[in-house]
Amino acid sequence: DATGATGATDATHGEPARTAVGGRAAMTRRLARCGLAGLVATLPMTLMILAARSLGLFRTPPPAEITRNAVAAVGDAASASGATSGATSGATGGITRGAASGAGSGATGRLTWLATHAGVGAAFGVGYTVARPLLPSSRLAAGLVYGGAAWALAYLGVVPALGLYPWPDEDRPARRTVMVVAHAVFGVALAEADHRLAGAVGTRRAR
């Protein structure tokens, strides 16, 4: 029967498409879950940094210094660009300088760096999705390795290369040590949060 054959062919052709869509949906859910896990893991890391500051190990939390310098750098770049556009340069420069000032002090400064830090934590959580197959099977070991890699990427690479924070050998030992340990805490918390969230999702689907 020609009609039956056509229907069977359509079903056969439709199956790979449904499989591909299902695979993309599953990956999207996993990325969202790891992003949330990264956000959750940022909390104990931040608490540790604030505790170290309260103990007098440093005055300015490194994430706050990085955020302030990043905002200032963006403001300087915008001002330089605006200087070539005549009348708009004054307004642009005023806005960006105000933003940089706000990011560096007071309640606005705290909210800015905390929000930025949380966003970076979520981004590293998403990165954990990609890195997990390459990490040790143990959650503890995976978290320690990933946390160390996150510290190295930021503090041995991107952040000092952009002039936002000193290189490790130029930083104070106390700050350097606190941030290494804080990233280890972040990695372990991230691995555990991802595991627990995955378990919660699996339990909900089983019901």
Q: Give the least confident one: 72-76, 109-113, 162-166.
A: 72-76
C-alpha–C-alpha distance, residues 201 and 97, integer Å:
45
- Of the chain, the end-to-end C-alpha distance in Å amounts to 42
44 burial via Cβ count (<10 Å: 0-12, 13-18, 19+): middle
100: CB partners within 8 A, 6+ apart = 68, 71, 72, 74, 75
pLDDT at 174: 94
Within its chain, how far is the Cα of 38 from the centroid? 7
Kindly tell me if the per-residue pLDDT of 205 is higher than 70: no
Kindly tell me if the per-residue pLDDT of 106 is higher than 90: no
Kindly tell me if the per-residue pLDDT of 8 is higher than 80: no
**Residues 6-19, mean pLDDT to the nearest whole number:** 58
Q: Of all helices (H) and strands (E), which one includes residue 182?
A: helix 173-206
Q: Which of 17, 8, 42 is nearest to 186 (CA)?
A: 42
Q: For residues 122 and 3, which has the higher predicted lDDT (pLDDT)?
A: 122
63 burial via Cβ count (<10 Å: 0-12, 13-18, 19+): buried
124-158 confidence digits (pLDDT tens): 999 998 999 999 999 999 999 999 999 999 999 99
86 burial via Cβ count (<10 Å: 0-12, 13-18, 19+): exposed
SS3 call for 51? helix
pLDDT at 176: 96
90: CB partners within 8 A, 6+ apart = 82
Q: Which residues in 158-195 are b (16+ Cβ under 10 Å) and which e?
A: ebbeeebbbebeebeeebbebbebbbbbbbbbbbbbbe
Within its chain, how far is the Cα of 173 from the centroid? 24
Q: Which of 135, 112, 152, 115 is nearest to 190 (CA)?
A: 135
- What is the model's pTM? 0.77
